[in-house]
Structure 1
Amino acid sequence: MVKVAITIDTEEDLWSEYVPAPCPVENIDSIPLAQDIFDRYDAIPTYLVDYPVVIDAHASRLLQGILEKGRCELGTHCHPWNTPPYGGDASERATMLCNLEDGVVRSKMENLHKAFVARFGVTPVSFRAGRWGFGPAVARSIQDLGYRVDSSVIPLVDWSVYGGPDFFDAPRHPYRLSPVSILVPTEDGDLLEAPPTTGFFQSNAEFCRKVFRYIMKSDLATRLKGIGLLERSRIINLRWLSPEFSSGEDMLLLAERLVRQGTLFLNMYFHSTSLLPGKSPFVRDEKDLQRFLLKIRMFLQHARDAGWKFIALQDTRKDY
C-alpha cells in the first residue's frame, strides 16, 4: 500500500530574513485553514516546528490543541540563525546548520529540543533541517537526542550553489542511514531518512537524472536554456510534490507516475508561511491562497480515491 506523509515547515514570518528569536509568527494562526482540509480527509500532517514558534505561547497553544485531538504529529525544525546560542558567523553559508561547527550544531539542537519538550510535554522524534542544511554533525546530534526520522534530504536537488549540501543523487525512497554517510543506505542505521518527494514525469528516471545532472553542472545561462528546452519539449520534466512549486495537476501526475514505477512512499511538503498571504513568495494574495489550498485538496482527494494511506512522519519507520 502507498503511504502518504504531509510535512510542514512550521516557522516564523520572516522569509529570507536571518534574525534571532523572538520573531513574529502570525502565519501560525492560519494553520487551521489547512488542518480543516486535512481533517476532512483523515490526513495526519506533521508540523515541524522551529524555535520562534516553540517559544511563542499563543502559537504553541494552537498546535498543542491539534496534537491533543490526535490530528497531527509535532516534530522539530531548526533555523540556526534564530535558535540559541546566537552569535558567530553571520554569512548566508551559516544559515545552513550543516556548515556550523559540531559543538554549535549540538548546542542549538539541544536548546531547540529542550524548549520543545518543555512547551509541549512530548518528545519529538521527527526532524527537518532549515534550508535543507543536513549533514553528518546534524545527524549525530539528532540521533543522540533520540530522533528516529529525518526528512531533510531532498533528492534531485543540489544546494551547493548556496553553500549547502548536494542531494541530487540521494535515494528517492526511505532508507536507514548512519551519520558517517548520510546519503548511503545502511541496514543497521538508527535514523530513517524519509525524503520529500521529487521526481520526473518520464519513466526512464535514470536517463533523466543523468541528463539533468549534466545540465546542472553547466554555467547559469546554459543551465537555464537547457532546462527550459527539456521542459517545453517534455523530454524531461522534474517536479516537486509541493503546492508551492507545482500545479495541482502536476502533483497528481508526478504521484501517479512514481507509484506506477513502484514508489510506496510519498511526502508532500510546504511551509506554514504559505498559509498567510504575503509571508512567503509562493502565496502573495488571497487568490494565490485559494489556489494553494485547492492544490492540497486535489492531492488529498486523489490519494483517498486511489486508496493510499495517510501517515504521520514518525510512522514511516513501521515500513522501513
Structure 2
Amino acid sequence: MADRKTPIAGKRALAYSPTPGPVIDWPESFGTRFTLFVDTEEEFDWRAQLSREARSTSAMAALPGGHARLTGMGAAPVYLIDHPVATSPRAGDALREVLAAGAAIGTQLHPWVNPPFDEPVTPFNSFTGNLPMELEAAKLDTLTDAIRSEFGICPRIYRAGRYGIGPNTAHLLARRGYRIDSSMRSRYAYTSEGGPDFFAIGNDAFWLDRAAGLAELPLSTVFTGATRAGGERLYRHLAKLPRARGLFARAGLLSRVALTPEDMPIGDCLEAVRVALGEGVRLLNLSFHSPSLMPGFTPYVRNESDLREFYCWWDAMFDLLDSRGVRAASENDLIGVLDAMA
C-alpha cells in the first residue's frame, strides 16, 4: 500500500484508452432492453474542488419517492452507492426501503471520500484507476465490505466515480466476483485532468474478461445529425476548431447525445434512441445522479420547476421505449443472461 506521506501525483505519458473486447451477443429471447444505473452519492458543490469532508446525504430522503415514480414508469433502477451513502444511517434507511420494493444496489467508488486515505486529493487521483493497484484494491474492498456488512448484499455491478476505470480495474473486479462494470462513458474523454479516453468505446456491451464472466455495459452516447456517419473521427476533429462542435450541433449536422436527463434535452435524447435502435443496439444504458431527485443539489435540478422537467423527461423517454418494445432489464435479468453464456 502507498505510504501516507508519499503523494500520488503526475500524469501518465498517455491516458488510459481501453479498447472494446468481444461484443456480447444477446440471445433473441433477451429482446432489446434498457438499463437505468443511478450514481447514488453524497452531495457536493459541483463547482468547487473535491473534498474529503463533503459527505452529506440529505438528498437520499427523496430516493424512495423517486424510485416509486421511476418503477411506476417501467424502469428497474440499480443504485450504485458510494462510501458516504453506504455508511450513512439516513441513507441506509432510504436504501432499505427501496430494496424492500425490489431495487438492486451496486458500488460506485469515489476515491476522495473512500478510505483508506493514502493519497492527496487531486483531480488526477479522483480517477480511481490512476491510483496504485494496491490502493485501488484497498478502496474497493472497503466499499464492498461496507455494503456487505450494512445490507447483507454482495454487490455485482460496479462503476468508478468520474468514470475513472484504469488498467487494473477489470482484474480487481473479477477477483472479487463482480459481473458487470459500467465505468466507461461511450464517446467521452477525461484526458484534460488525467482521466481515461473512451472515444473508441461504442454503445454495444462487451466482455472485459470472458473467462471471469465480467461484462462492460458502457453508458450510452449516440451521434445524431446529418453527418453522424463521421462519428468519433469527425467529432474529434471538430474539437480542434473554435466553437465548431456547437455550430455543427445547432445546424443539425452532428451532436453527441448521452442518454441522461442531466443537461441533455429530451428531444435530442429521443432522436438518439431512435438512431441507436436503428443501428441495432440491443441494450441502452441510461443514468443520472441521485441528488438530482431533490432540488438544489446538482446543477441539473436547481428548483421545483427543474424537478418537474426531470420527471417529464423520463415520462417521454419511457413512452418512446415502450412504443418500440424496449423493456427494462433488471440486475437479475442481465446476470442471468451472462451466466447462461458462461
Verify same fold: TM over 0.5: yes
CA distance in 1, matches of 2:159, 2:229: 27
The amino acid across from 1:291 in the alignment is: E
SS at match of 1:161: helix
Deviation per CA, 1:148-177: give whole Å up to 9, x if none. 001111111011012100001113200001
Does residue 29 (structure 1) correspond to residue 61 (structure 2)? The answer is yes
CA pair 61-129 structure 1, distance change in 2 beyond 3 A:
same
Structure 1 partner of 2:120 = 89
The amino acid across from 2:64 in the alignment is: P
- Residue 3 of structure 1: how far off its partner (Å): 0.5
CA distance in 2, matches of 1:191, 1:236: 33
Structure 1 partner of 2:156 = 125
Match for 2:175 among 141, 144, 148?
144
- Residue 203 of structure 1: how far off its partner (Å): 7.4
CA pair 239-313 structure 1, distance change in 2 beyond 3 A:
farther
Q: Is the 8 A contact 1:273 1:279 kept in 2?
A: yes
CA distance in 2, matches of 1:134, 1:49: 16
CA distance in 2, matches of 1:140, 1:132: 16
Structure 1 partner of 2:36 = 6
Q: Is the 8 A contact 1:20 1:86 kept in 2?
A: no
Q: Is the 8 A contact 2:228 2:254 kept in 1?
A: no
Match for 1:175 among 193, 201, 206?
206
CA distance in 1, matches of 2:45, 2:171: 28
Structure 2 partner of 1:213 = 236
Deviation per CA, 1:16-41: give whole Å up to 9, x if none. 45233671101111113321222212
Q: Is the 8 A contact 1:48 1:128 kept in 2?
A: yes
Q: Is the 8 A contact 1:83 1:108 kept in 2?
A: yes
- Residue 120 of structure 1: how far off its partner (Å): 0.6
Aligned residues: 306
Deviation per CA, 1:75-110: give whole Å up to 9, x if none. 000000000001422211111101111110000000
CA distance in 2, matches of 1:232, 1:317: 40
CA distance in 1, matches of 2:139, 2:117: 9
Structure 1 partner of 2:283 = 265
Match for 2:99 among 67, 92, 95?
67
The amino acid across from 1:229 in the alignment is: L
- Residue 144 of structure 1: how far off its partner (Å): 1.3
Match for 1:291 among 309, 313, 318?
309
The amino acid across from 1:60 in the alignment is: G
Q: Is the 8 A contact 1:125 1:314 kept in 2?
A: no
Moved more, 117-126 or 280-289: 280-289
CA distance in 2, matches of 1:128, 1:65: 22
Structure 2 partner of 1:182 = none
Structure 2 partner of 1:184 = none
CA pair 55-22 structure 1, distance change in 2 beyond 3 A:
farther
Match for 2:51 among 1, 16, 19?
19
Q: Percent same amino acid at aligned positions?
A: 28
SS at match of 2:286: strand
The structure that is helix-richer by fraction is 1
Q: Is the 8 A contact 2:165 2:196 kept in 1?
A: yes
Residue segments in structure 1 that go unaligned for 5+ positions in a row: 179-186
- Residue 9 of structure 1: how far off its partner (Å): 0.2
SS at match of 1:136: coil
CA pair 20-310 structure 1, distance change in 2 beyond 3 A:
same
Q: Is the 8 A contact 2:226 2:254 kept in 1?
A: no
CA distance in 2, matches of 1:149, 1:27: 27
- Residue 118 of structure 1: how far off its partner (Å): 0.3
Match for 1:40 among 33, 49, 72?
72
CA distance in 1, matches of 2:238, 2:136: 34
Structure 2 partner of 1:311 = 329
SS at match of 1:192: strand
Structure 2 partner of 1:201 = 224
Deviation per CA, 1:123-145: give whole Å up to 9, x if none. 10001000010112222222211
CA distance in 1, matches of 2:73, 2:303: 26
SS at match of 2:264: coil
SS at match of 1:228: helix
Match for 2:215 among 192, 198, 208?
192
Structure 1 partner of 2:147 = 116
